[in-house]
Every structure is written in structure tokens, then in C-alpha cells.
Amino acid sequence: MAVFACGGASAQSDSGMTRQQAYARAAALEALGRKIFNDASLSASGTMACASCHYPNNAFAPNNAMAIQPGGKDGRQTGFRAAPSLKYLQAAPQFTEHYYESEDEGDASIDNGPTGGLTWDGRADRGNDQARIPLLAPFEMANADEAAVAMKLAAAPYADDIKRLFGADVFAEPHKAFNAATTALSVYEQSPAEFYPYSSKYDAYLAGRAKLSEQEMRGLQLFNDEDKGNCGNCHRSERASDGSAPQFSDFGMIAIGVPRNRAIEANADPKFFDLGVCGPLRTDLKGHDEYCGLFRTPSLRNVALRKTFFHNGAMTSLRDAVAFYATRDTDPGRWYPRNADGTAGKFDDLPQRYRANINNEPPFGRMPGDKPALTDGEIDDIVAFLGTLTDGYKPAAP
Ligand code: HEC
Ligand code: HEC
């Protein structure tokens, strides 16, 4: 549970609550948030909860292999992004266009560019802003407005919990009831036990309580090696200097040129492109061409549980996702269809004018026919290592 209202050593916090009261309120909010998260009656179809797309037993990611989870009034409307895991988001900084690392983390004078925020394009900053999106999106839970959600909350078995926590008159104004729900959801999403337990084999290894296999160890080295995977450059694998556990993301916005997913309905229109940070879902940075094609680097914790990979779910195996890094530039024909004129195609999900935004650092940046940065065996090693990032590791009995 997130204990955020504790006022240091003093027993009384700003809100006039004692520390015990603040703790009890946080626990009650968390329990309420869990109920709301799992409540399908809060959708227009009556069949879709947050948990339908963010399945608790699958690291809060989908438990099916569909790239896009259908939703909406009839359960058949589709958006165009893969549902991410909701774990380890507590570490995402608020979105900023100019991110500087702290003095002791790295070079504090380097502008790392746009970083942070929630969703693939960072357009929401807190869990409660974010939760508005699926509750109201026509292709997700599809409520017409806040009032429609408030009516459903008033009829829910936990309506009295909401009154107890937010006041007896909370249902008098739809906006208040709606905010109560999104607040409870965001508190729930900060529950350490469920959302950031740091209970993977790799965490046990860092704590000296587990040994990685030889293959996993090779994978870790390749993952970090700047001339090989160089994965750790963006998916940080090392403890921060304050000793905090690695998040396997620096939350930076990067374009890596993931292939177009032709299974997405919106992509039937050849003029439609999901450009990430410059739109269309994110609207405040529209016209910033330098941000087109950028998506937030996801944490790789629990990545082995995913059934589709990247913002558009274009790949369905972890091995392919890793192999893409190794051979995007050396063998583009493996990933991209040919152009209409028969020439070799590349970066088919980003209009030509934005392709200068695509990252070309290792393992990228080679030429067709060059030796890839990773051999097939090395790709397997990295995949084996990524398997150590799944929470719930139980050391074998001695
Ligand atoms: C129909 C499937 C679906 C449902 C239902 C759904 N989500 Fe999501 N969720 C998604 C998708 C897709 C994204 C990525 C959206 C984007 O990048 O624009 C997402 C993103 C998120 C994120 C941000 C994750 C990140 O990596 O930054 C959070 C938090 C979240 N959802 C919470 C919720 C909550 C809370 C609910 C219920 C109120 C909910 N979701 C319902 C599909 C769904
Ligand atoms: C330059 C930064 C960068 C480097 C280096 C990098 N990644 Fe990524 N990674 C990203 C970004 C950004 C995304 C999301 C891209 C998208 O969906 O458009 C991503 C997505 C992924 C995903 C999909 C995760 C998911 O939830 O769908 C996997 C798997 C992955 N990376 C593994 C690796 C591995 C393995 C390496 C090293 C071989 C690596 N990455 C190197 C930035 C990077």
C-alpha cells in the first residue's frame, strides 16, 4: 500500500489526520481501487473492467495474443495500441520535454529529451488523469461522460465505501464521484505488493539470494555490452546510485521504427499513422515533427509474460522482438514489406519526412548484409536473461 500522507515524525499531518488515520485511509482507498479496477459494470457494455485488458495474474497486461484488445459498447471497437503492463509505473517521472539526470545518476548537463508520463506517448501524468481515458474512450469502457460513470458507481456494491471515504454528498455531483473513483484507482495502482514487488529472479540475484544460469549470465552481459545489445542504455539493468532497484527503463521517448501492424483496423487507411508523442492521441505536441514516431521506453520487467510486443503489438514472440534489434538494419526484408515499386522497404509505419528521428545507435546503425550485432545464439541468451525479470520467483529448495 502507498503511504503518502505521513507527516514525518509528527503524529498529526497537514490534513489533520493522525498517522494511523492516514494509513487506514490509504488502505481503504487501495481496497476500493481494487474493487473498481475489477468491476465490469463500469463499462457501457457491462462486460469490460480495467482488469479485462490489464489482467492481474499476467502482470496487469493482456492474457491473450490479440495485439489490440477490443472494447466499446458492443465489445468490438478497437483502438490502435497494445495494452501495457501496469507494473513498475510508480518509477515513471512526470512527462517533460527536457529530462536531466540527477547529479549523481549521470551527467546532469545532458538534455535527454522528452521523457516520462503515462501511456505510450506520456500524455497523462498521474494515475487519476490516466484512468479517465479508458473509462470514457469509445473503444475501451465507452461511458458517454462522467455522469454515466457516477450513476454506475452509485449503484455498485461498494457505493457506501465511496461515501465513507469521500463524503456523504459525493454522489450529488457526478464530477466528485468520478474523481473519487479515479483517485482510488491511482492509489491502488501504487500498491507495492501488487504493482512493484521486485520479486524476480534477477532481484534475488542482485540481493545475493539466487544464481543466474550460465546462459542467463551471458544474456545479462550481452544486454549491457555497448557494442552488442546495448539494451541497458535505455532499459537500465543496474541499481541506481542510491541503491534503488533497476526499472529496466529510463522512460525516455525513442523512435525505433517498429514495423506497421497490418492487423490493426485503423491501419487499413494507408494515410493513418500512430506517431506517438506528436499525435494523434497526444495533442499538445502536434506539429513538433522531431517527436513523430517516438514512444516511451517500456520497462522490461515481466516482459516474458507478454503475448505481443511494442506499442502496436506488431510482434508476437519475445525472440522476434529481440531479433528485430539485431537485424532491423542488416536484414530489413525480414521485418518490412517491399515498397510498391519492388524496392526493399523499411520503416513502413513512419512517413518518410520523420525517419530522421529513428534511433541508429547500437545495436542499430549497420548496413544491409553487415554482420548483425547479435548472433542467433546471443539473441537466445538475451531472451533467457529477460526470463529472469518475471516477478514471483521462488528459489529452488537447497
Ligand atoms: C480495452 C482495453 C483497456 C481497458 C479496458 C483499460 N485499459 Fe488501460 N491501457 C490500454 C491501452 C491500449 C493502453 C495504452 C494507451 C496509450 O498508450 O494510449 C493503456 C494504458 C494504461 C495505463 C498507462 C500504462 C503506461 O505504461 O503508462 C494505465 C495506468 C492504465 N491503462 C490503467 C487502466 C485503468 C485504471 C483502467 C480502468 C479504468 C484501464 N486501464 C482500462 C488498454 C485498456
Ligand atoms: C535507444 C533505446 C533502446 C534500446 C537501446 C533498446 N530499446 Fe527496447 N525499447 C525501446 C523503446 C522506445 C521501445 C518501445 C518502442 C515502440 O513500441 O515503438 C522498446 C521496446 C522493447 C520491447 C517490447 C516491450 C513491450 O512491452 O512491448 C522489448 C522486448 C525490448 N525493447 C527489448 C530490448 C532489447 C533486448 C534491447 C537490446 C538488444 C533493447 N530493447 C534496446 C528503447 C530501446
Q: Which atom of ligand 2 is nearest to the CA of 363?
A: 38
**Nearest alpha carbon, ligand 1 atom 39:** 50
Q: What is the pLDDT of residues 158-191, one digit of tens each?
A: 999 999 999 999 999 999 999 999 999 999 999 9
Contact 71, 42 (CB under 8 A): no
**Nearest alpha carbon, ligand 1 atom 15:** 119
**Ligand 2 centroid distance, CA of 121 (Å):** 14
Q: Is the pLDDT of residue 196 over 90?
A: yes
Domain ranges of the chain: 19-195, 201-389
Best mutation site among 30, 45, 115, 140 for ligand 1, i.e. most ligand atoms within 8 A of its Cβ?
140
**CATH class of the domain defined by 19-195:** mainly alpha
Q: Does domain 201-389 have CATH number 1.10.760.10?
A: yes
Contact 210, 203 (CB under 8 A): no
Q: What is the pLDDT of residues 316-354, one digit of tens each?
A: 999 999 999 999 999 999 999 998 888 889 999 999 999
Of 26, 58, 303, 42, nearest in space to 191 by CA: 26
**Nearest alpha carbon, ligand 2 atom 19:** 297
Q: Which atom of ligand 2 is nearest to the CA of 253?
A: 12
Is residue 53 in contact with ligand 1, taking CB distance under 6 Å?
Answer: yes
Burial letters 198-226, b for 16+ CB under 10 A, else e: bebbbbbbbeeebebeebbbbbbebbbbe
**pLDDT the model gives residue 393:** 97
**pLDDT the model gives residue 342:** 85
Question: Mean pLDDT across the chain, nearest whole number?
Answer: 93
**pLDDT the model gives residue 251:** 96
Q: Which atom of ligand 1 is nearest to the CA of 52?
A: 5
Best mutation site among 36, 54, 81, 115 for ligand 1, i.e. most ligand atoms within 8 A of its Cβ?
54
